[in-house]
Amino acid sequence: MTPWREISPVDVPRATGRRRLRALRAAHRALSEHAAYADLILLHDPELLVSMPREVRSRTVVWDVHEDTAAALTAKGWVPGPVRPLLRPAVRRLEKRSERRHRLLLAEEGYRERFREDHPVVPNTTYVADLPPGPPDGRRAVYVGHLSVARGALDMIAMARLLAPEGIMVELIGAADGEVRPALRDAQREGVLRWYGFVPNDRALRIAEGAMAGLALLHDEPNYRHSMPTKVVEYMARGVPVVSTPNPPAVEIVEPSGCGLIVPFADPAAAAKAVRRLREDAELRIGMGKRGYETARARFHWPTHAERFVTQLELWAGRAPALIADAEAVPEFEEPVPEY
């Protein structure tokens, strides 16, 4: 991914599975090196809050909260099962300490209950093109995102085995946890699916464009019950009909807008049946793709939310307009109501 000219990137290794120490050390060094001239330090990964360099502690630090950290432990395959209950109280203590020491931005209204204070909420959305994409085809079902058991990787492999004999290709785009990699490699060698591995998000979504189904087969995990699945919005933005499990945030988007189909949890046969329905009914999939794009453009276009995000960071960095005296003065965002 080529960064904007206004950005000076510093590359660090990716943390994968239990091999995280090298990546954390590299991030630690990068933060130490660049903290001195920063007006504000924005962190997404709670792991970076644990071993924050001394140079960073004196700066304004913002934790951009994108998941229920403690609940997410059950979905992280690299965390040993017996350890997860022991880590959960430690994670909650980390959250309380971070709330006392740092600024917090929340990506979901549902995260408010985890914290004592009132923190700004800015949804994590996506860019939606001005012009609608072309209609979805009848040949491919795609998934974009990290691949794990909890995110439905094994379900998608089983679904691909059902669909491959019918000429429908399942394409999985993203890095994978160690526990599902062997199954992915085997399925790819057998020709029942394509697994691209890690691809930068902008390129991955270009690959997804034109597909007849965007898969979001998340399991019924605590962390997913009140987190909007960004991939659902990304599929919608590119005119791809959604096939999703019934996590409440996904249902609240997909059903009212009529942009996809909801299937039961951990049911590859039902997911395959939904994909077949989209292949066989061109009018249905084209209509769902169109409605998804229109809803995404009206409600989830990132520039609509970005002004509040940037204004809040400027306020905390001491660079906000003089008229904004405190967080309460940041104008509230009102979502436009799309017409269907």
Residue 2 confidence (pLDDT) above 80: no
Dump pLDDT digits (tens) for 181-226.
999 999 999 999 999 999 999 899 999 999 999 999 999 988 788 7
Of the pLDDT bands very low, low, confident and very high (cuts 50, 70, 90), residue 275 is very high
Q: Which of 51-65, 264-278, 292-306 has the lowest mean pLDDT?
A: 51-65
* Token pair recorded at residue 64: 């951009």
Dump pLDDT digits (tens) for 310-337.
999 999 998 755 434 344 444 443 333 3
The secondary structure element, H or E, covering residue 201 is helix 201-208
What pTM, to 2 d.p., does this model score?
0.81
CA distance 224 to 219: 8
pLDDT at residue 72, as a whole number: 57
CA distance 60 to 73: 28
Dump pLDDT digits (tens) for 225-258.
878 889 999 999 999 999 999 999 999 999 999 9
- Which phi and psi angles does 105 have, rounded to 5°? -115, 135
Residue 44 confidence (pLDDT) above 70: yes
pLDDT at residue 323, as a whole number: 39
Dump pLDDT digits (tens) for 76-90.
666 666 767 767 777
**Residue 130, SS3?**
coil
Of the pLDDT bands very low, low, confident and very high (cuts 50, 70, 90), residue 48 is confident
Q: Are strands 103-106 and 169-173 parallel, antiparallel or unpaired?
A: unpaired
Of the pLDDT bands very low, low, confident and very high (cuts 50, 70, 90), residue 295 is very high
- Residues making up the chain, counted from first to last: 340
Dump pLDDT digits (tens) for 125-140.
999 999 999 999 889 9
The secondary structure element, H or E, covering residue 275 is helix 268-280
How far does CA 7 lie from the centroid of its chain?
22
**Residue 219, SS3?**
coil
